[in-house]
Amino acid sequence: MRESSRISRRAALGLTAAALPLSTATDASAVTVIGGERLARHGVQVRGATGVPKKLTARSWLVADWATGEVLASFNAHGRLAPASTLKMLFADTLLKKFDRTARYQVTDADLADIPAGSSLVGIKPGITYTVEQLWQGVFLRSGNDAVHVLAHMNGGVAKTVAEMQARAEDLQALDTHVVSPDGFDHKGQISSAYDLTLFARHGLRDADFRGYCGTRTADFPAGGKKTFQIQNTDRLLTGAWGLGTYDGLIGVKNGYTSHAGNTFTGAAVRGGRTLLVTVMHPAAGSNAVYEQAAALLDWGFGQGGSARAVGLLVDPLSEGGARPGPPPARKAPGSTATASGRASAKDSPWHLAEGAAGTFALLGAGAWALHRRRARTVASADRDVSEPAARDVRAKGGRRRKR
């Protein structure tokens, strides 16, 4: 997409010229306010609820309701940071429907020639034939950059795939995101935000294959001939690895780590018929901190966060009627399928995610799903509720995550 078309798209969304260049996480004045003006403010943003975890060291985080898109609380939501492998959510959302999962592909040396040195790998070998399903298992479970590059070459090459991912990000209104490579590896200028990563997860989870892959704990992977080896999902809250207990109700979505980005994580969990999304980026602690802080935020969301009023909104894709945010409607009772205009929409499908056997998920007729054609909403700029003070300089205690 030419720069002129990007500028016109951003102008239509009400961005200033200052928002066009790539910015750093601390460049708060330059970030877009897609989703609501409060999401660009400094400090913890929360309304109508208390008890947001204090011992958070992440440079950015966000908690949202998956069904309504309401952002319940956030910190530096639009801060532009290296995404690591959480960017693979956008890769999957862009390519997942392009190939039948039963299709077979024989890998060549050329498919693996442009993988960055030091990448995470699932162990793909040239000359071996894989199904598309197995390649996606390599992407989601092992975060394999080799699987990403094979799928990208099947799609016509890395450059074509990057361009399609960038176009997809702009359609999703994920304007903090700049894609340089399809795998999320450290590259100059490759950035995203907690807000954008949560958008990717929310939209991706609408797809049954996406849900199935991100919630799969283990799978048998081809090793040549009739031999296989087992691969395990690297999401520690899903598998309970590295001293962490599994998080009750977790349904994915994607974790990531690079030496530049540190740890990043976007997760989703369902309890009591309610599905919450959480993204945590760059905590200043050990490798378990990103999971511990994500779990703490989910605990808050399912508990005290139940009374929270929206501080922003996860907007709809432009291709599905997404529009510039306006004032939010009153909070609806559980089970309502009314749109922002107050009318029930025939295109709204009420369903929630619930974990099923073998890492897949059943669709339950509970709660309200208002993704299709739902008007993008957010908190009016006139809102002047006082934010809770940020406490991100306090280090998180490591080594605890009990099974609930």
Q: Catalytic: 98?
A: no
Structure tokens at 220: 């048998």
CA dist., res. 323 & res. 209, Å (int): 28
Q: CB of 175 within 8 A of CB of 34?
A: yes
Question: Is residue 268 classed as helix, strand or coil in its secondary structure?
Answer: strand
The CB density around residue 347, as the number of other CB atoms within 10 Å, is 13
Q: Which residues in 13-128 belong to E strands, given as ranges?
A: 44-46, 60-65, 70-75, 104-106
Q: CB of 40 within 8 A of CB of 76?
A: no
Structure tokens at 253: 């979505």
| Catalytic position from the list 60, 74, 85, 181 | 85
Q: How many helices (H) and strands (E) does the chain have?
A: 9, 13
DSSP 378: -
Q: At which residue do the structure tokens 């390519």 appear?
A: 95
| Catalytic position from the list 23, 60, 74, 88 | 88
| pLDDT tens per residue across all 404 residues of the chain | 444 333 333 333 333 323 333 334 434 334 448 999 999 998 999 999 999 999 999 999 999 999 999 999 999 999 999 999 999 999 999 999 999 999 999 999 999 999 999 999 999 999 999 999 999 999 999 999 999 999 999 999 999 999 999 999 999 999 999 999 999 999 999 999 999 999 999 999 999 999 999 999 999 999 999 999 999 999 999 999 888 999 999 999 999 999 888 999 999 999 999 999 999 999 987 889 999 999 999 999 999 999 999 999 999 999 998 764 443 333 333 333 333 322 222 222 223 343 332 333 333 223 333 333 333 333 333 233 333 333 333 233 333 333 33
| pTM of this structure | 0.77
Task: Give the pLDDT of residue 328.
Answer: 35
Which of 66, 55, 34 is closest to 279 using CA atoms? 66
Structure tokens at 211: 């849900």
Task: Give the pLDDT of residue 242.
Answer: 86
DSSP 309: B
Task: Give the pLDDT of residue 259.
Answer: 83
Q: CB of 264 within 8 A of CB of 290?
A: yes
Q: Which domains does the chain have, with CATH numbers?
A: 3-364 (3.40.710.10)
Per the DSSP assignment, residues forming a β-bridge with 269 are 250, 276
Q: Catalytic: 347?
A: no
Task: Give the pLDDT of residue 3.
Answer: 41
CA dist., res. 244 & res. 233, Å (int): 14
Q: Catalytic: 307?
A: no
| Catalytic position from the list 60, 143, 181, 193 | 143
Task: Give the pLDDT of residue 362.
Answer: 35
Task: Give the pLDDT of residue 374.
Answer: 35
